[in-house]
Amino acid sequence: MAYCEMADLESLLPTGELVELTSESGDLPDEAVVAEAIAQAGAVIDSYCGTRYVVPLSPVPDLVKALCIDLAIYQLYSRRDQMPEVRRRKYEAALKILTDLSKGLATLGEAEAASAQSADVAEISSATKIFSREQMSGW
C-alpha cells in the first residue's frame, strides 16, 4: 500500500526538478521511477512501524504520509550525484521519528487505537484443569 502519491511529490518539487530526478530523457517525470521510490519509502515505514502497528497502516495517518513523501524524495535524489542538505536532514529526521514510533516514544495519534497490535498485553491460555484441590485433598 502506498502511503503517498506522485501528486504529493509534485506539490513539493517543481516539475522540472522531478523530471531531472526521474527521467533519463523526456519532459515528463517517469511515473515508474516515482512509484518505485514511494514503494521503497513505504517499505522503510512498514519495517519501523511493523514492530508496534499492524501494517500497512490504514487509514494513512498524516504523519506517515509526510514521512513517506520525505523518504521518497530522498530516494529520488539518491539516484543522482547531488543531495541537497535539506533533503538529507529531512531524511534523517524521518528516520528519527520512525525510530521513536517503533520504540513507543511517539504515537500516530488517532490511528493508534485502531492499528495497535496486542504485543504489549500478555495473554495466557492453557488446557482444562485436570486436578483440583478437592480431588487431591484425600491424598
Average of per-residue pLDDT values in the chain: 87
Give the number of domains in the chain: 1
pLDDT tens digits for 78-108?
998 889 999 999 999 999 999 999 999 999 8
What does R_g of the chain's alpha carbons equal in angstroms? 23
pLDDT of 126 higher than 90: no
pLDDT of 117 higher than 50: no
Q: The domain containing residue 106 runs over which residues?
A: 6-136
- Indicate whether 1 belongs to any domain: no
- Indicate whether 21 belongs to any domain: yes
Residue 110's pLDDT band (cuts 50, 70, 90) = low
CA angle 73, 88, 112 (to 5 degrees): 70
Specify the pTM: 0.77
